[in-house]
Amino acid sequence: MIKVLMKKIYMTLIKCLDIFLKGNVDKNNITVFMTFKEDVEPIIKSLINENYKVTIIYHPKYENIVSDYKAYKTINMKNKYFLQQIAQIKKSRIIIIDTYYLLLGSITKPVNQTVIQTWHAAGALKKFGLEDKSVDLNNPKIVKQYLDVYHYTDFYLIGSDHMAEIFDVSLDAKPENMLKIGLPRLDKYKTNISKSKKKKIVLYAPTYRDYNMSSNIELNKELFEANCPEFELITKLHPALSTPANEFTNETRDIQTLMSLADVIITDYSSLSIEAAFLNKPVIFYVYDEDKYNSKKRT
End-to-end CA distance of the chain: 16
Q: What rounded mean pLDDT belongs to the chain?
A: 86
pLDDT of 87 higher than 80? yes
Distance in angstroms (rounded) separating the CA atoms of residues 34 and 16: 25
DSSP SS3 for 181: coil
The residue ranking higher by pLDDT, 295 or 104, is: 104
Percent of the chain at pLDDT > 70 equals 89
pLDDT of residue 214: 53
Per-residue model confidence as pLDDT tens digits over 229-269: 999 999 887 766 555 545 444 445 788 889 999 999 999 98
Lowest mean pLDDT among 139-143, 170-174, 220-224: 139-143
pLDDT of residue 9: 80
Query: CA dihedral defined by 238, 184, 271, 120, rounded to 10 degrees?
Result: 50
Confidence of residue 123 (pLDDT cuts 50, 70, 90): confident
The residue ranking higher by pLDDT, 141 or 194, is: 141
Which helix (DSSP H) or strand (DSSP E) does residue 280 occupy? none
pLDDT of residue 249: 45
Per-residue model confidence as pLDDT tens digits over 64-75: 999 999 999 999
Which helix (DSSP H) or strand (DSSP E) does residue 233 occupy? strand 231-235
